[in-house]
Structures are given as structure tokens and as C-alpha cells.
Amino acid sequence: MSETTAFPDVQARAAERKTPRGRTFSEHPLVQLTIVRFLETLREPEALFWIFAFPILLAGGLGIAFRNRPAEVLKIATVTPALTESLQREKLLSVQQLSRPSAEEALRTGKIALLAVPGANGAIVYRYDDTNPEGRTARMLADRAVQQAAGRVDPVLSSDVLMREPGSRYIDFLIPGLLGMNLMGSAIWGMGFTVVDMRRKKLLKRLVATPMPKQYFLLSYVFSRILMLVAEVGIVLGFGAWIFHVPVRGSLLSLALVCLLGSLTFSAMGLLLASRAKTIEAASGLMNAVMLPMWIASGVFFSAQRFPDVVQPIIKALPLTAAIDALRANMLQGAGLVQLSPQMGVLGAWLIFCFILALKLFRWR
């Protein structure tokens, strides 16, 4: 059966399209297609979880785990009053005076980090597990307290300045990373899976037989992503600002442009990955192969500077690295569009390359 026979109203619709008539904005085919794409996303609970709930849960958990805490007080033990008095001068140590058997039992069972006992010729013997970081720290603090009690004078005075203001914490580093990861994940998964699913169900073949302009179909995905972008960016930023007081020191307009360009870039990448795939398994493999290296290397959870210098140019050229660097520069340093131009250039180059290649490779059947 021919496509014309399968769709008896194709010729009538084509003739109708050739005859212009008055249309309201909501009746425009591009508007209708955009609404359909948007509603398809809202009707997928899994998509809503990964777009909205996952970054919030991850930010909340990591923000609590890496919250600012006062210095930990380590528990140690001694067996003599004089040694106890000397060690109590150190505020970061909680000193207990115990009998020798009780102190050794506490050390063996991990209830204390260090045991200090008198040795021969007035020396102090520190008993601790050197593979335990708390034991090593306790040994350093205990020896400092004993030396100062004995009259040691530090030749150079020093002081500490603690940095606890918004912008210098781990959660401030994390929120822009999660936002960039969310922009990439929601765009690539949302674009790729929908296109491949429609191709698998032969819906693309049916749509191409209608008078629908092909560019409308592709643009509808782009516009639906922009609509979803407002919610997904607003929720993550709002959560960070409300719960952890994460700052946004740069222009909101600059931030919005970075998010928009990043979302369009990753949407074009998702379109490219889905341009030929015919099964969900194939599309999933391609998307994971592209996204997982960027999740690891682009500085979502830790600085990309941890990687060797030889691979830094490659990491800087990744679109997720550019998006996250631009978001952090805007939110934490107050950078404007001029300062963000290198990152915007990287995103723009990926957008043009992926979109042009996707149009050339896209298969409707």
C-alpha cells in the first residue's frame, strides 16, 4: 500500500497548505508540535525525576556530607596526673586519665586515638595506630601540648584565618557542576530517546508523509527544551540559594544565556546521537559513551585540574567543561559575558558542528 493510499487526506492537506488562510498563534503547526513535545516530557515520571528530583537529592546529600563543621576534638588517654594536665592545654584534644589496663583496652578497641605514657629518662611514649589519620593527628597535637608545657617558645608567631563565607565551600562548587550535568543529561536523554522511540514505532515515517515541514519537527524539540529549561534551572538554583545560601554574583541575564546556549548545544548533540539509531539500546549506548567521560572529567564533583596537564586541553574543549566553568565563573566570581566568551565560544562551536552534522545524517525511517 502506498503512503498516499495510507493517508487519504495528504493531498487535501497539501492543497490546503498552499492556500493561505488566517491562523491564530496557537494553531500554528510549530506551536502545536512544541506543546506536544513539552507534554510528552511532563508525562514521563522517570524524566521528571532525573531532571528535577535527582540534582536536588544529590546536592542535598553532598551538601550535608561536606558541610562546614568545627574542628574535630580527638579523644586520647594518659595514666598520670602530670601528663594529663600538660595535654589538657590543647583544645583539640579530649584527655582522659585512666588506669594502664583500661587505657590499653580503650586504644585497642578504638575508643581513643592515642595513649600517652611516661617513658624512661622523662621521655613521653605515644602509642597509636600510624595507619589511622586520627592517630597521627592526635600524636602531633599531643606532642605540641607537651612541648609547650615544658617551656618551648615558638620563634615565629602565627595565626589562622578561617574561610567560611558563601562561595568558598564545597556546596558552592557543587551546585554549578550539578546544574551543568543536569543541562546535559536532560537535553541529550530527552532529545535522543524521544526521536529513537518515534523512529522505532514508525511515527517518523508517518510524519514525513504529511505536509509538516521537517524543520518544524526539529525546532519543536528545541523550543520545548527552552520551556523546560526555565523550570529545571530555577529549581536547582532556588534550592541551592534557599537551603545552602549559594551565591549568584554575576548577572542573571548572563547566567540565563549560558544555560540557554548550553541546553541548545546538548540538544544538538542528542539529535546527532539519535540521527541514525533505530533501537533504544543503541541510543542508550551512544549517549552513555558520550556523557560518562564528561561526567568524570569535566569537574562536576571535583576540579578538573586534578587530571594530568597533558589532557587539560582536551578537557577544556569538552562542552560540559565549558558550561560548568562558565556557570561557576558567573555564580561565584561575578563574571560577565566578556569574561565568559571563551567558554561561550566552545559551546557555540559544538552547537554548530553537532546541529549541521545531525541535519546531514538524520534519518526519518
SS3 131: coil
Residue 128 lies in a domain: yes
HEC string of 252-296 equals HHHHHHHHHHHHHHHHHHHHHHCCCCCCHHHHHHHHHHHHHHHHH
**Residue 20 confidence class, pLDDT cut points 50, 70, 90:** very low
Q: What is the per-residue pLDDT across 139-165, written as a single tens digit (0 to 9) for each?
A: 888 888 888 877 766 554 444 444 455
Span 30-71, pLDDT tens digits: 777 777 767 766 666 666 666 666 667 666 655 655 555 566
* Per-residue pLDDT tens digits for 92-107: 888 888 888 888 888 8
Specify which residues 55 forms β-bridges with.
none
Considering 149, 174, 192, which residue would you say is the last residue of a domain?
149
Quick one: 225 and 101 in the same domain? no
> Measuring CA to CA, how many Å separate 340 from each of 249, 313, 320, 322?
14, 17, 14, 9
**Torsional sign, CA 317, 331, 182, 229:** negative
Cα–Cα–Cα angle for 72, 77, 78, rounded to 5 degrees: 140
Residues 355 and 276 in one domain: yes
pLDDT at 156: 45
Decide which of 123, 149, 175 is a domain's last residue: 149
One domain for residues 51 and 120 = no
**What domain count does the chain have?**
2
Q: Is residue 199 part of a domain?
A: yes
| Domain finish residue from 95, 120, 149 | 149
Specify which residues 77 forms β-bridges with: 96, 115
Same domain, 205 and 60: yes
Give me 47's grid cell: 524524566
Q: Are residues 230 and 277 in the same domain?
A: yes
Mean pLDDT to the nearest integer, 255-260: 93
Asked whether residue 126 falls in the same domain as residue 268, the answer is: no
Q: Is residue 3 part of a domain?
A: no
User: 322 vs 25, 239, 315, 352, CA distance in Å?
Assistant: 36, 23, 9, 15
Give the C-alpha separation, 311 to 293, whole Å: 13
Query: How many Å apart are CA 92 and CA 69, to the nearest integer?
Result: 14
Shared-domain flag, residues 355 and 238:
yes
Among 190, 294, 240, 225, smallest CA distance to 57 is for: 240
Which amino acid appears at position 213 of this protein? P
Residue 238 resides in a domain: yes
Residue 119 shares a structural domain with residue 225: no
Mean pLDDT of 189-212: 79
Residue 88's pLDDT is what? 85
Average per-residue pLDDT for the chain: 79
Q: What CA–CA distance (Å, rounded) separates 142 from 144?
A: 5
| 126 & 185 share domain | no
Identify whether residues 233 and 271 lie together within a single domain.
yes
Identify the helix (H) or strand (E) that includes residue 345.
Answer: helix 341-361
Tell me what pLDDT residue 352 has: 92
Domain span including residue 261 = 28-66+166-361
Q: What is the pLDDT of residue 69?
A: 58
Q: What is the pLDDT of residue 154?
A: 55
User: Does position 307 have pLDDT exceeding 70, yes or no?
Assistant: yes
**Quick check: 286 and 195 in contact, CB under 8 A?**
no
Query: With the CA atoms of 18, 20, 21 and 25 taken in that order, what torsion angle do they form, in degrees rounded to the nearest 10?
Result: 110
Q: What is the CATH number of the domain that holds 116?
A: 3.40.190.10
Query: For residues 71 and 190, which has the higher predicted lDDT (pLDDT)?
Result: 190
